[in-house]
């Protein structure tokens, strides 16, 4: 029986974990949300009375799933009856793969394509029009398809998407959005599926509910409703951090989900912030769109945090100012380089700046979510294998690499490959014994894959599934590297950069605002905080600027530096970008670091 030690949790966390009813938990930044979720899952697993039921946890990213899974295993709890992953993975594993035969678009078989394939196909279809693939952004709700383009382009985009989906159907392909659409259709049109899943799951937990799409809630609610109370739920997140609205993120309320799923929900909260100083907590609380109490409880809550806002530095001097702030925090304040983060709204703002900072600060390393050199297609076989290839054997990584090896072997088994001579341990031994000396990352991976499969005796090029995934992985990765290099990140294709993707951060993090969600740093430096960028000019949510600033500022533990540089010009003769209005109007007394 799982039990925690006194002092591991506070009263709010313990109450949420002990609550046996359905829970809707609003958790402020730094409140120990992940720990609470981890202990809740561990408690549920250790109290399961049937080995025929599962605990299901839906996370926003695979990295979060890996982190929580390992935390539970480190608590000594058996995870054999835990399924944890993203909603797309859940829909594939529990709905589409086992029940594809019941859907006309899937019954002849299907292959999931990645974002590169989608972008390439849409670009081809847009060639004879005045729109681009960027205009073709869309997502599904329970009511149908939603477009993110301007109203004047709607009819053209609809026609392009009609052609796009016809091509996918002919080729028996589905993209990430269709995963959700088809899963929803199967759940709604085939009641036995939702009834069976409702009988299999003891509890469905949802992390980051504010970034979950409406159609995802509809899928999960259908399962809960069909279980007639046998399946419980535990939903956690923070509506103040709902920054994916333009991509379909839907910060559902407890009342709305209760009605949708036909269940009662106990509303609870985590209000104690164990991350930031009291001054920073007070500062980012100003940007809260949804009222919530936040109490600073960090060990360093009395730290004399520096909070600065610079709307004077011109664009030409931005590199020097960023370098100065980085050096100040590392060399004067004493913050380790791995605890410094540089943020901007989009990767296009960061690529060339990263190159300049690498040259200006040769004594420090740089890494971060935005510096991923290959396509993160989580269902691509070669992406799964690359996680093992690009990480080193170590006690710290053993459990994670063993799980990855199990996923690779399972994928081989699913396509009928003879794996009788393979186990997770033997696959790791093979991977650990391959020695390739190559500085170009993609060449390194190609040679490694060839060598590994020769050793395990599988001709992957003779297996259509593996061959198609191989082409998709390398084609999309080459395109991504070329684009990032054209934006100034020449180093992105190096093997050393590839290895950083799955390693713990060691250098200064460079990231977009969206890419840094869930992370925390001693010092956060954010620039390009300009109206039209924060928020994006096409974002219809009037609260987006506040939510983005809330996320930025709540990442910081000790120091926070905000920059709205001058001299960035709008296209079409619209003049200069102005500082983000919400930020500029906040009458805070900032620190002068000049």
Residue 452's nearest CA partner among 497, 405, 494 is 405
Contact between residue 131 and residue 157 where contact means Cβ atoms under 8 Å apart: yes
What pLDDT score was predicted for residue 472?
Answer: 86
Neighbours of 258 (CB within 10 A): 17
Residue 67 Cα to chain centre, angstroms: 13
For a pLDDT cut of 70, what percent of the chain falls above it? 98
Q: In this structure, what token pair is assigned to residue 271?
A: 């209000």
* Domain map (residue ranges) of the chain: 11-90+187-269, 111-171, 305-368+505-584, 381-498
Residue 593: cis peptide before it, omega within 30 degrees of 0: no
Q: Residue 281's pLDDT band (boundaries 50, 70, 90)?
A: very high
What pLDDT score was predicted for residue 553?
Answer: 98
Greatest mean pLDDT range, 104-113, 268-277, 353-362, 395-404: 268-277
Euclidean distance between CA atoms 411 and 390, whole angstroms: 19
Euclidean distance between CA atoms 351 and 492, whole angstroms: 10
Q: Is the pLDDT of residue 247 over 90?
A: no
Helix (H) or strand (E) holding 226: helix 214-226
Q: What CATH superfamily is the domain 11-90+187-269? A: P-loop containing nucleotide triphosphate hydrolases (3.40.50.300)
Residue 66's nearest CA partner among 346, 520, 506, 391 is 391
Q: Is the pLDDT of residue 368 over 70?
A: no
Helix (H) or strand (E) holding 12: helix 11-18
Could you tell me where the beta strands, DSSP code E, fall in 360-507? Answer: 366-367
Q: Residue 369's pLDDT band (boundaries 50, 70, 90)?
A: low
How far from 436 is each of 431, 448, 481, CA to CA, in Å? 11, 7, 21
Q: Is the pLDDT of residue 376 over 70?
A: no
Q: Is the pLDDT of residue 25 over 90?
A: yes
| Mean per-residue pLDDT, 339-346 | 94
What pLDDT score was predicted for residue 493?
Answer: 86
Residue 501's nearest CA partner among 337, 588, 375, 414 is 375
**Burial (CB count <10 Å: 0-12, 13-18, 19+), residue 130:** exposed
Q: Is the pLDDT of residue 586 over 60?
A: yes
Q: Residue 488's pLDDT band (boundaries 50, 70, 90)?
A: low
Q: In this structure, what token pair is assigned to residue 134?
A: 């960027």
What pLDDT score was predicted for residue 463?
Answer: 94
- Half-sphere exposure in the Cβ direction for 370 (13 Å, CA): 29
pTM of the model: 0.87
pLDDT per position as a tens digit, 506-520 = 789 999 998 888 899
Q: Is the pLDDT of residue 105 over 60?
A: yes
Q: Residue 370's pLDDT band (boundaries 50, 70, 90)?
A: low
| Mean per-residue pLDDT, 108-126 | 88
Lowest average pLDDT, out of 405-409, 450-454, 514-518, goes to 514-518
Q: Is the pLDDT of residue 483 over 80?
A: no
The answer to whether 11-90+187-269 and 305-368+505-584 have equal CATH topology is: yes
User: Which residues are CB-contacts of 497 (< 8 A; sequence separation ≥ 6)?
Assistant: 371, 373, 441, 491
Q: Residue 329's pLDDT band (boundaries 50, 70, 90)?
A: very high
Lowest average pLDDT, out of 10-24, 70-84, 194-208, 345-359, goes to 345-359
| Mean per-residue pLDDT, 292-311 | 95
What pLDDT score was predicted for residue 498?
Answer: 86
Length of the chain counted residue by residue: 594
Q: Is the pLDDT of residue 61 over 90?
A: no
Q: What CATH superfamily is the domain 305-368+505-584? A: P-loop containing nucleotide triphosphate hydrolases (3.40.50.300)
Q: Is the pLDDT of residue 21 over 60?
A: yes
Lowest average pLDDT, out of 237-251, 285-299, 511-525, goes to 237-251
Contact between residue 493 and residue 373 where contact means Cβ atoms under 8 Å apart: yes
Is the C-alpha dihedral spanning 364, 368, 374, 379 positive or negative?
Answer: positive
What pLDDT score was predicted for residue 246?
Answer: 74
pLDDT per position as a tens digit, 176-222 = 999 999 999 999 999 999 999 999 999 999 999 999 999 999 999 99
Residue 477's nearest CA partner among 352, 400, 390 is 390
What pLDDT score was predicted for residue 375?
Answer: 63
Q: Residue 487's pLDDT band (boundaries 50, 70, 90)?
A: low
Sheet holding 266-270, edge to edge: 82-85, 54-58, 201-206, 232-237, 23-27, 266-270
**Average confidence score pLDDT of the chain:** 91
Q: Residue 4's pLDDT band (boundaries 50, 70, 90)?
A: confident
What pLDDT score was predicted for residue 237?
Answer: 96
Is the C-alpha dihedral spanning 424, 426, 432, 435 positive or negative?
Answer: negative
């Amino acid at each position: 029986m799982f039990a925690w030690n006194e002092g591991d949790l506070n009263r709010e966390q313990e109450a949420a974990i002990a609550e046996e009813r359905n829970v809707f938990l609003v958790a402020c930044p730094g409140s120990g949300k992940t720990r609470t979720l981890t202990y809740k899952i561990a408690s549920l697993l250790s109290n399961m009375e049937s080995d025929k039921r599962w605990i299901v946890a839906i996370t926003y990213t695979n990295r979060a799933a890996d982190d929580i899974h390992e935390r539970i295993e480190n608590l000594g709890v058996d995870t054999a009856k835990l399924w944890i992953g993203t909603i797309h993975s859940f829909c594939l594993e529990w709905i589409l793969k086992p029940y594809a035969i019941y859907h006309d678009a899937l019954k002849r078989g299907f292959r999931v394509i990645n974002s590169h394939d989608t972008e390439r196909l849409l670009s081809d279809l847009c060639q004879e029009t005045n729109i681009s693939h960027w205009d073709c952004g869309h997502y599904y709700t329970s009511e149908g398809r939603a477009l993110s383009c301007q109203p004047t382009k709607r009819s053209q985009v609809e026609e392009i998407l009609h052609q796009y989906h016809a091509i996918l159907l002919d080729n028996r392909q589905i993209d990430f959005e269709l995963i959700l659409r088809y899963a929803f259709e199967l759940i709604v049109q085939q009641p036995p599926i939702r009834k069976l899943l409702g009988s299999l799951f003891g509890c469905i937990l949802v992390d980051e509910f504010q970034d979950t799409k409406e159609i995802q809630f509809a899928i999960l609610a259908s399962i809960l409703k069909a279980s007639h109370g046998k399946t419980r739920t535990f939903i956690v997140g923070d509506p103040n951090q709902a920054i994916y609205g333009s991509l379909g993120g839907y910060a559902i309320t407890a009342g709305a989900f209760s009605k949708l799923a036909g269940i009662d929900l106990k509303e609870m909260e985590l209000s104690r912030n164990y991350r930031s100083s009291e001054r920073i907590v007070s500062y980012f609380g100003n940007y809260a769109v949804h009222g919530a109490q936040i109490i600073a409880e960090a060990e360093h809550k009395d730290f004399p945090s520096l909070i600065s806002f610079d709307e004077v530095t011109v664009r030409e001097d931005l590199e020097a100012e960023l370098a100065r702030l980085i050096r100040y925090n590392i060399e004067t304040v004493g913050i380790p380089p791995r605890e410094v983060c540089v943020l901007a709204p989009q990767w296009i703002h960061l690529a060339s700046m990263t190159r300049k900072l690498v040259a200006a600060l040769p004594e420090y390393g740089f890494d971060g979510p935005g510096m991923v050199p290959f396509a993160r297609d989580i269902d691509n076989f070669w992406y799964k294998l690359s996680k093992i290839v690009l990480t080193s054997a170590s006690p710290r990584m053993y459990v994670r690499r063993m799980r990855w090896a199990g996923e690779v072997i399972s994928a081989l088994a699913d396509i009928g490959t003879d794996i009788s001579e393979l186990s997770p341990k033997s696959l790791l031994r093979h991977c650990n014994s391959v020695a390739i000396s190559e500085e170009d990352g993609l060449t390194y991976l190609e040679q490694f894959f060839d060598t590994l499969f020769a050793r395990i005796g599988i001709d992957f090029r003779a297996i259509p599934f593996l061959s198609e995934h191989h082409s998709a992985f390398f084609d999309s990765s080459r395109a991504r590297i070329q684009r990032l290099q054209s934006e100034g990140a020449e180093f992105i294709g190096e093997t050393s950069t590839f290895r950083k993707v799955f390693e713990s951060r060691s250098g200064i993090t460079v990231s977009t605002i969206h890419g840094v969600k869930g992370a925390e740093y001693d010092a956060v430096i954010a620039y390009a905080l300009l109206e039209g960028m924060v928020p994006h000019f096409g974002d219809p949510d009037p609260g987006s600027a506040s939510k983005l600033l809330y996320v930025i500022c709540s990442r910081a533990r000790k120091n926070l530096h905000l920059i709205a540089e001058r001299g960035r010009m709008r296209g079409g003769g619209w003049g200069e970008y102005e500082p983000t209005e919400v930020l500029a109007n906040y009458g805070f007394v900032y620190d002068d670091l000049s």
